[in-house]
Amino acid sequence: MAGRIRVGVLFGGASEEREISLASGLMIAENLPKDRYEVKLLDTLALMARHPCLSPQLRDKAIALQQARPLRSLPSAGELSPAMRDQVERAEALAQSATQALASQDERGIDVAFLALHGKYGEDGTIQGFLELTGTPYTGSGVLASALAMDKVMAKRVLSAEGIPVPRGVHLTGADVAHEGDAAIERAMALVPAVVKPSKQGSSVGMSLVDSPAAMAAAVRLALQHDDEALVEERIFGTEITVGVLGTPGADGLEALPVVEIVPKREFFDYKAKYDPAQCEEICPARIPDEARRQAQALAIRAHRALSCRGYSRTDMILGPNGPVVLEVNTLPGMTMNSLLPKAALAAGIPFGELLHRIVSLALEARR
């Protein structure tokens, strides 16, 4: 078909959310309207073959991608349902040949990059910087907003400066713990019952709920295995909700999607609850009072604006006794058809293919 826009779906990469990204990317590629778009799947791991962070298996995989050789599947980072594992394997097989172009930095074959990456080297401003350098339009937020939102400690500073309610918290680096020892952990203990998380991660990787001060040191250690900074927050009790926002500040305005209520069947919304539909109920529109819904939607728009997000975002909150409290803003939220933002869009009358089309259009508009 002539005149179609060439979209490179960038996915995979080297973060702990690689597999989630592979599943998101495959769904995006399969659902971008075929009459408008010609789609290639590009695994950004191919750009990273020399990166010192790669495990030997990931390095082999990066080199195999560059040479368009068949890939061996790696053991899973987390527990995936059989359906998800199948998607991951299909996605990797489809990415092979087109990825060679990305590795040789010849991505001129695309008009726009659709970012289906999550976590480090994808959601954190690095790939956005690479695309800025090559002059390729891309979906979602720019370098600054991506880097800010990925860093929960920095994002909370900006959000609270804007008067957006966030949980009380302290942050600890590996160096703090090494130098201050017990004193550092004691500062964190004052927040129990607490949630301890790596500052720059997603999918609840490396997170713990801490109900007793004695469990704090181990939780901080675990978080520090996944990032150089651990964030310890007071635990907010209430109804978990999330709100998607579409649009770019200053353009045609921002639209908050219907609120989604999250009801995990586990202790909290952990990795398993996020990616196994049997482990969590997601209800849209949320069963919360109108006033709380309005507050949550207004907060999501303020958070999107405060971090200068572009195109789309999803703000996670807990509706506590004093109203919604913002946990974090995701600049590249999950984009499988069952993910939270696509579900909210559907409830607003925007089917998945149309949502993808809007996100690409916003990326191309940002360039005009």
Ligand X SMILES: Nc1ncnc2c1ncn2[C@@H]1O[C@H](COP(=O)(O)OP(=O)(O)OP(=O)(O)O)[C@@H](O)[C@H]1O
Q: Which residues bind ligand X (CB under 6 A)?
A: 167, 195, 197, 201-204, 207, 233, 235-236, 240, 268-269, 274, 316, 318, 327-328, 330
In the complex with ligand X, the residue whose CB is nearer, 128 or 201, is 201
Rounded to a whole number of angstroms, the minimum distance from the CB of residue 192 to ligand X is 12
Per partner kind, with CB cut-offs from 5 to 8 A, the member of ligand X, Mg ion, none near residue 235 is ligand X
Nearer residue to ligand X within complex by CB, 30 or 233: 233
The least distance separating ligand X from the CB of residue 88, rounded to whole angstroms, comes to 17
Question: Least distance in Å: CB of 279 to ligand X?
Answer: 12
Q: Out of ligand X, Mg ion, none, which partner does residue 119 contact, by CB within 5 to 8 A per kind?
A: none
Nearer to Mg ion, 123 or 316 (CB): 316
Question: Rounded distance, CA 173 to CA 317, Å?
Answer: 25
Cα–Cα distance for residue pair 331/124, rounded to 1 Å: 9
227 binds, among ligand X, Mg ion, none (CB under 5 to 8 A by kind): none
List the single partner that 195 binds among Mg ion, ligand X, none, CB under 5 to 8 Å by kind.
Answer: ligand X
Tell which residue, 320, 317, 321, 322, has the closest CA to residue 299: 317
The answer to whether the beta carbons of residues 109 and 123 sit under 8 Å apart is no
Nearer to ligand X, 95 or 340 (CB): 340
The token pair at 182 is 């017990």
Write down the least CB distance from residue 218 to ligand X, Å.
17
**Among residues 139 and 204, whose Cβ is nearest to ligand X?**
204
Binding site partner of 146, from ligand X, Mg ion, none, Cβ cut-off 5-8 A by kind: none
Q: Which does 201 bind (CB under 5 to 8 A by kind): ligand X, Mg ion, none?
A: ligand X
Extended beta strands in the chain, E state? 5-11, 37-43, 112-115, 169-173, 194-198, 208-210, 229-234, 239-246, 255-256, 260-264, 280-283, 312-320, 323-330
Cβ proximity to ligand X, 248 vs 330, nearer residue: 330
- Min dist. Cβ of residue 269 to Mg ion (A): 7
For residue 63, is it left (φ>0), alpha (ψ between -120 and 50) or beta?
Answer: alpha
- Maximum distance among all alpha carbons in the chain? 66
Rg (CA), the chain: 20
Q: Which does 339 bind (CB under 5 to 8 A by kind): Mg ion, ligand X, none?
A: none
Query: Closest CB to ligand X among 40 and 304?
Result: 304
Strands 229-234 and 239-246: unpaired
Of 143, 124, 25, the closest CA to residue 84 belongs to 25
Site residues (CB under 5 A) for Mg ion? 316
- Beta carbon of residue 167, minimum distance to ligand X (angstroms, whole number): 4
Positive/negative CA dihedral, 28, 29, 33, 38: positive
Please state, in angstroms and rounded to a whole number, the distance separating the CA atoms of residues 59 and 49. Answer: 5
CB of 303 to ligand X, least distance (A): 13
